[in-house]
Structure 1
């Protein structure tokens, strides 16, 4: 919780500031969130992570509001997921992999805009990707990629359009997962 009667949230922006396109400067993002009436606004890294407090709306309505404001301000659509501290903490606590024993680059969380049924990934032969593996949680996919995300064949397979159809998905490394819990906890 932030200010009395408010909830701390993280906004996860998908596909910005990658390869020189779809630029969203963090200072402008902070100002935009403040102009929407959110309090205690901050950003983390340049890859589209913001935190704020709000006393109105729910995660989905806040995401829609932020997404619409971004499109109006920057002139291009941005998918946004908003998650509260309790959810982010639950994702951290439910990690099926030994996070404390792994390097942050080896462990990732892909957040989904809606629940995803395990049968969506039924066509993937997980054994073919070993030692890489994934597990599903509550609107999240945990990915263990020992050589990092950039070299992960499993990550490429998981991001195929037929597997992500109908949901917004955005991935964060484990350092960011932990940091967002910290930033929304205060």
Structure 2
């Protein structure tokens, strides 16, 4: 049974970062990982690592291997099953019943007070402009509720511009449908 999930940023989006899921499975297997399975075409995989290496090391090795195999380096976040279960359990928007309106942003490290303050400022600005979107930052996870859809979300646009400590954090967002499906794949 898989014990970890890998989330890649910018895979197969808008004609850039082409990486067939069969190739992603091959890359993960070439690193010695087992129980590899992918979900949809946007860079989601579950696997059991070949060692007890920290997730940051697993992510870096995956980035290196994809760069060697495909010629580009997508940022990767690797989580244990326990970490993904905690993200699901800690959802600050339990009243949201439409899973496509809820998103989780996964980052390789806690985002800190500066990012959280900028996210709150972005939400305030979006609300002033008529948005109903909400954001909560919890360590390395950004929860985003977009009742009018992500594609029309002013808050999501503003969050994409945040540069905490002078650099833009390299994370990746998934809607709640994907989060739930990856959890099910880990439990299978």
- TM-score, normalised to structure 2's length? 0.89
1:62 maps to 2:58: yes
1:160 maps to 2:161: yes
Q: C-alpha separation between the residues in 2 aligned to 1:50 and 1:72?
A: 18
Q: Which residue pairs with 2:126 in the alignment?
A: 129
- The 5-angstrom pairing of residues 99-110 of structure 1 reads 101-110=96-105
Segments of 4+ in structure 1 off by > 6 A?
Answer: none
Residue by residue over 1:49-79, the C-alpha shift from the partner in whole angstroms, topping out at 9 and shown as x without a partner, is 0110024112111101110000000011111
Q: C-alpha separation between the residues in 1 aligned to 2:82 and 2:10?
A: 25
Aligned residues: 180
Q: C-alpha separation between the residues in 1 aligned to 2:176 and 2:113?
A: 22
- The 5-angstrom pairing of residues 20-169 of structure 1 reads 20-56=15-51, 57-98=53-94, 101-123=96-118, 124-130=121-127, 131-163=132-164, 165=167, 167-169=169-171
Give the conservation status (yes or no) of the 8 Å contact 2:8–2:75.
yes
Could you say what the CA RMSD is over the residues aligned between the two structures, in angstroms?
Answer: 1.7
- How big is the shift at 1:138? 3.0
- TM-score, normalised to structure 1's length? 0.90
Runs of 5+ consecutive residues of structure 1 not aligned to the other structure: none
Runs of 5+ consecutive residues of structure 2 not aligned to the other structure: none
Q: Secondary structure at the match of 2:37?
A: strand
Q: C-alpha separation between the residues in 1 aligned to 2:33 and 2:85?
A: 21
Give the conservation status (yes or no) of the 8 Å contact 1:108–1:142.
yes
Q: C-alpha separation between the residues in 1 aligned to 2:100 and 2:135?
A: 15
Q: C-alpha separation between the residues in 2 aligned to 1:167 and 1:81?
A: 12
